[in-house]
Amino acid sequence: MLQESEDLLAKMVEKGPTPNDITYNAMIRGFFQSSNIDKAIQLLNAMVDRGLSLNATNTSIVEDLLAADGSEGKFIGLVDKALPKHQSKGIVSSVELDV
């Protein structure tokens, strides 16, 4: 089922409609629940690269699961990547990690 959703996401990126944060959040949650953390992080990076913001929904899911997996550094790197992009547009962002 995740492969089918991943294929659909690829078609959306290529042909439209453009995936939004809700689309990415659903995919990220699915990959985390199936313990495919690396793929979920790839999707988070793709989401940020497409100009979508990290938000409370995806950061709380990611924070909990990465803490359990011991991969906090990957998440912190993603946050570092995302924040300067949005701060340069005049948007102030902050992320609080309880790890």
In a domain, 95, yes or no: no
- Identify whether 24 is part of a domain: yes
Q: Tell me whether residue 98 is in a domain.
A: no
Where does the pLDDT of residue 76 fall: very low under 50, low under 70, confident under 90, or very high at 90 and above? low
Which residues, in sequence order, are CB contacts of 46 under 8 Å at separation 6+? Answer: 24
The structural domain count of the chain equals 1
Residue 94 lies in a domain: no
Tell me the average pLDDT across 76-94.
Answer: 54
Q: How far apart are the first and last CA of the chain?
A: 31
Residue 25 lies in a domain: yes
The pLDDT assigned to 1 comes to 79
Q: Per the domain annotation, does 97 fall within a domain?
A: no
Window from 21-35, 38-52, 77-91 with minimum mean pLDDT:
77-91
Q: Does some domain include residue 92? A: no
Where residue 29 falls among pLDDT bands split at 50, 70, 90?
A: confident
Domain coverage including residue 37: 2-87
**Peptide linkage before 17 cis (omega within 30 of 0):** yes
Residue 82: per-residue pLDDT: 61
pLDDT at 14 over 80: yes
In a domain, 36, yes or no: yes
Contact call for residues 44 and 32 (beta carbons, < 8 A): no
